[in-house]
Amino acid sequence: MFKDVEVTYHNNSPYSLTDYKEVNVNDSIYIDFTITSKNKSMHQVCVWEAGAATPFLRLTPSDAQRKSYSNVVKLKMNSKVGLTSYRVWALDSAGVYIGDGYKTLSVFVNPDYKYWSNRYMQVPDTLEKAAKCYISLRTGQLYSYEEAKQQPELIDAAIFYDENANVLTNPADTLGGFTIYSLDASPNPLALYDISAWTKRSVQFSSLKTNQANTFRNTIRTGALLKSNAGSSFPNKKVLLTSVSSRAPVTSNNMVYFKTPEGKIGALFVNYVTGHSSKKGVIMNVDVKIEN
């Protein structure tokens, strides 16, 4: 079936995509093609990207082009990274698929950001100090207090749960909340752990963003998009309250942008927490995206 239709991809430009190609974010590709049909007339030519429900482009050949149609589709690779594919096919006068020559084009967009998923940050523990409450936002590695004090220059941020934090509108309510903080915050938000002798990296946070699942997962799909969504202005914020009490749950879908001392922009997204207290074993599950 569908053997009457053939598609030829031309290599007429350095941007031409004829089979497989690796590019960088914001590079251009050209789908330079000629599609022919030996028998049935082509009344529409579709260009489709893998993962989409429908073609993103529908072209209408003129009467003289019903059996052979050529065009150049120019695309900028600025919406996502990784591997994606394209196909060009034809429809007849009834809108019925008549073939694509069994040819798929593939392009790999080199990532311009790192993505660390499902990092299980634990609230600090008092005795053993073994809870993984510290994180390197550049590598996604988690550290306990005992591990972090051996190499504090790797640490970018930490969490704890403040039982006394006033997180509700009514000042009389002090039911606690999770806190993310930079190690150079002054005073040290978590006096329980002595970090006075540590090398302290200076990380800045944006204000807290709520209901950010779609933005984090579907909008921020390149480092360039990460940077443009975060914006260029970061307040000198070192301590960030990230959740409220059980009366107004919780932290899931919250996100904060951050900026490292090297000027790298990133986003930390809270997937969920397993409790709302400072008790041992309570976990905040986070994802991190950061520019290369």
* Tens digit of each residue's pLDDT (9 = 90 or more) over 184-213: 998 888 888 999 999 999 999 988 888 899
User: What does the pLDDT read at residue 277?
Assistant: 81
User: What does the pLDDT read at residue 219?
Assistant: 95
Q: What does the alpha-carbon distance between residue 289 and residue 292 come to, in Å, rounded to a whole number?
A: 10
The single-letter DSSP state of residue 214 is: H
Residue ranges and CATH numbers for the domains of the chain are: 5-110 (2.60.40.10), 113-291 (no CATH)
At residue 285's C-alpha, the angle toward residues 170 and 193, to 5°, is: 75
Where the chain has pLDDT below 70, the residues are 1, 164-176, 241-251
User: What does the pLDDT read at residue 169?
Assistant: 47
pLDDT tens digits for range 244-256? 444 444 467 889 9
Report the 10 Å Cβ neighbour count for 65.
16
User: What does the pLDDT read at residue 80?
Assistant: 94
Mark out the alpha helices in 192-286 (DSSP H runs).
Answer: 213-214, 223-230
Is 80 exposed, middle or buried (CB count within 10 Å of its CB: 0-12, 13-18, 19+)? middle
User: What does the pLDDT read at residue 245?
Assistant: 44
At residue 21's C-alpha, the angle toward residues 43 and 75, to 5°, is: 50
